[in-house]
Structure 1
Amino acid sequence: MPSKKIVKTSNAKKSQKQTKRDLKKRNKKITIKKDNFLKEKFLSSTANLLIKAVSIAANAAIVNREVGKRLNRRGKEALTIVSQLAVDVRNDVKQGVRAAKKIQAKKNGLKNSSKTRVRRLSA
């Protein structure tokens, strides 16, 4: 019968194997923790960026609304001023036309009256 060698592993070798396994497990846990940490960091940074973008958009909307209100107010004021100017110009034009018609009528009246005088004298 061949002799079987019984190899006894010492406790030191077992403990070395165990520590290697533990290290592998720890490394896996550490990498998982690192991955989770990086994911959390990434998510928190993107969340912060989104919050900043939303706040900027909200502020811009508020500012735009205020600017829009001011522009509306100024636009209405400008329209009232322009319409008042248009009314004034129209009234001035009407008065000018009336004055021109009166002057024309006076000139025509003088011409007509002088013609009639001449006719009367010649008649």
Structure 2
Amino acid sequence: MNRTKGILLAGSVTGLILIALLAFGLPVRSLEQQQLQEVPTNSLDTAAPSGLDGLEATNAELEAALRLMQERENAYQQELEAANQAILDMQDAAQQPVYEEDYEDEEHDEDDYEYEEEDDDDD
């Protein structure tokens, strides 16, 4: 296939894709619709509570949410402390000097070796 046929084929495929997208329609969203969908919903009722009962109910929900967050924070803090302790233990182990006593090599006395002495006597 030469270059001209390749360019024509690529243009034809691109044109067919554009025609298909226009025929079936693109899911076009306006910026306003996207922003409305991205707004997180809150589990707490944000409407103004009516009377003392409404305030007490909202207060109870807030206290429950606060207790939950504090429990999660405590659990996270414990995990963090355990991880930090593990890191400190590994650093301490890496910094300890290695002594020759730690190696279990056979100990040899100098008396165990026999040396051949050469006689340099030229009498």
Q: Which structure carries more relative contact order (alpha carbon 8 Å, separation 6+)? A: 2
Which is richer in helix? 1
Q: TM-score, normalised by structure 2?
A: 0.44
